[in-house]
Structure 1
């Protein structure tokens, strides 16, 4: 055999067989692309803060940051007295986490803010409050004081409040358009969704608004809040939440678990309504599986135990919130809801500790994979995707710096993004 020539290998099937199979699976290929596009690759906020529509003001974000810093000053004035002692962090980890939390509260105290016109709203002038929310959010994006993500939680699609919710959404979106257009960070939340048809109605509503204002079709997305048992399991035994994602026609951006409404719907006593209750774990597991690969992200709920009062009570609430947040992160729920400024320090403490504790190991594993140098763990493309996604989330929230990630991995952010977002078929190719 001459140099450069390859040995011919024997086969038994005619080439037409492969072509026929590919042709028969073409509709399935298209369906996979449509239904399971993968994660959008955009930043996911670590939390959502909701503020009643009648209480939202121009200084809300800065006020929450200042109140969170004041809570640290009063109840945990240094790393040893706060995270090391109260939250059980090692001395080595406590100082960098503490300093990063303080810097975060000064720089970007809220990552995602929802002006609430549902359960938390007690105002009497909803038209005016919705218009004011639009004006203030538009101004915040204009002057650089906005959170990365901002929007409203409207009333649900149930009969008693449907018209009111539609009107509030119309006023809010119209106000944004009149102020210059919809911001990139706009997020809308549709609560108490029970039937997929309610999601279809929301899609229709947004379609009509886009047509009325000359917007690109599909420009406006929304989150679906899961707060009823019917949104998890339908009467025929199927997963309603999966139908909801399909009914959203690509507009669903997230599934948000509603801790207290969902627990109450199942008859869980008030004292046991928490995000770590078995009923909550079941619901979120169904949400997670239904959303996997669709580009729809899952968010955990909140705790209603507020860190207020004497220091001992605040520390107890901090330990609870920190523990629940760490538990959620380990279960791949990378976002949750915070109800009070005092929750923000422990939200960021838990998030930063989660990424810093595992940083060196994750970065080293990804470096070995990228450089094909092996090691004591044989990683595959799917693991490389998880490792790079972990590092990117750490970078996005401020737990990690790109310089330290590059030092260990030798990779740029673009490299990380490439590993984090392979096409479906690439995940089956070892060493891709």
Structure 2
């Protein structure tokens, strides 16, 4: 190391102690408001099925219908790649993984819909549908056939439907408890939120349910659906969505963008309502910044162009959906909505291509960082976090295999997780 340097300081220890004491409230606030990503799996999509259409075989039916669509309109890797413009080296592995995914786990996140997709019904009919949804999801969970995540979307907290939404949620959750308990992957969605007070009301509702049944405080979380202009920008010019996250008091798990309600709210004509419209980009950018570091994840919306009809029409819809999904992934929206079984092939094709085409480069960069080997890019802890998160998401959805990741990185999954969810100081201590 060379000459041993003489180290001298000028400040008394009391100076640092005083600064530490003055910043203690800020330290506590940072830990409370910005706990970071939870480090759990995020589904690549959410599938919405109306409450009256949901059945015991819904998930398997969606997978089979998606496979049928492939058989009919892209029966091999070459034809599928030609439709989507996949590179030659991706065609076979992507196609094989898409088919395997549709056979093994066609839906990652299922939401039984009691809102727009269900509509107003007689109370007894909705009661029965909510109880049935609870029973079927509980049975699927017990059999091991349930998606990794599932739950319901209730009606919103606005006055005309508030009581109905609360009752449906109560019937559903009570039914789950009666059928064996709350599944680990339970997700609840609160739609059409306009004021932070509605989020607080949802938090109070879930708190009351937990207290009634002796559940662990905070056991029940929920997603906030962003479908109105007021959810992005309040009357006073502030970002409402940021206040909503805090109003959830730690229960918010996601922000879901509602493409068509939000676009219509802003007066966008029906022909131009899409997830890549400038109005959509603005809303999601605000959501993304508000959610950053909070542990709340952002979900993109959907396309209403369905891959049905003759081959040319199906192929056009597939190309649209594939392109929108790839666009969202590049913007760090790792989850979106799928409205039809025919969307599943292109959802997984886009996701798998995204992770496989950058897999080798990400692995090499992370391996160099882990081994302090240097290279042509000077990576820091924040970049290692992004690289490991990329690989973990690829592993979770089935785009990548554990063996190939270990072979190229020399790292275990535990190693990847340690980089993906670093301590706060590990990131803030970096130079950039």
Same fold (TM over 0.5): yes
Q: CA deviation at 1:10?
A: 2.2
Stretches of 4+ aligned residues off by more than 3 angstroms? 3-8, 428-431
Q: What CA distance in whole angstroms lies between the structure 2 residues aligned with 1:249 and 1:204? A: 10
Which residue of structure 2 lines up, in the alignment, with residue 120 of structure 1? 117
Q: CA deviation at 1:425?
A: 1.0
Deviation at 1:430, TM superposition (A): 4.7
Please name the residue that 1:145 is paired with. 145
CA deviations 1:126-178 (Å, max 9, x no partner) are 00000000000000000011000000000000000000000000000000011
2:15 aligned with 1:26, yes or no?
A: no
Q: Deviations over 1:410-432 (max 9, x none)?
A: 0000000000000111113459x
CA distance in 2, matches of 1:336, 1:318: 15
Residue 7 (structure 1) shift: 4.0
Q: What corresponds to 2:98 in structure 1? A: 101
Q: d(CA) in 2 for partners of 1:31 and 1:409?
A: 36
Give the aligned partner of residue 367 of structure 1: 367
Residues of 2 paired with 1:7 and 1:348: CA distance? 58
Aligned to 2:12: 14
The residue aligned with 2:36 is: 38
Give a deviation string over 1:195-251, Cα, whole Å, max 9, x none: 000000000000000000010110000000000000000011100000000000000
Distance in 2 of aligned mates of 1:428 and 1:368:
21
Structure 1 residues 4 and 353, CA, compared in 2 at 3 Å: closer, same or farther? Answer: closer
The number of aligned residues is 428
Q: Kindly report which structure 2 residues correspond to 1:355-394, keeping only aligned pairs within 5 A, or say none.
A: 355-394=355-394
Counterpart CA distance in 2 for 1:430 and 1:360 is 25
Map Cα deviations across residues 254-288 of structure 1 (whole Å, 9 max, x no partner).
Answer: 00000000000000000000000000000000000
* Residue matched to 2:289: 289
What secondary structure sits across from 1:114 in the alignment? Answer: strand
Aligned-partner SS, 1:382: helix
Q: Could you say which residue in structure 2 is the equivalent of 1:182? A: 182
> RMSD of aligned C-alpha atoms?
1.3
How far apart are 1:182 and its partner, in Å? 0.5
Superposed, 1:151-230 pairs within 5 Å as 151-230=151-230
User: Which one of 88, 111, 121 corresponds to residue 108 of structure 2?
Assistant: 111
2:370 and 2:14 map into 1 onto residues whose CA distance is: 37
Residues 127, 100 of structure 1: alpha-carbon distance in 2 compared, 3 angstrom cutoff: same
- 2:151 is paired with a residue of what secondary structure? strand
- The one-character-per-residue Cα deviations of 1:329-348 (angstroms, maximum 9, x if unpaired) are 00000000000000000000
Give, in angstroms, the shift of residue 91 of structure 1.
1.4
Unaligned segments of structure 1, at least 5 residues: none
Deviation by residue 1:392-415 (Cα, 9 ceiling, x = unmatched): 000000000010000000000000
Alpha-carbon distance between aligned partners in 2 of 1:4 and 1:86, rounded to the nearest angstrom: 63
Q: Quote the offset at 1:11 in angstroms.
A: 2.0
Superposition map of 1:61-100 within 5 A: 61-82=59-80, 84-100=81-97
Secondary structure of 2:384's partner? helix
User: Superposed, which structure 2 residues align to 1:332-371 within 5 Å?
Assistant: 332-371=332-371
What is the TM-score when the length of structure 2 is the normalising length? 0.98
| 2:358 partner SS | helix
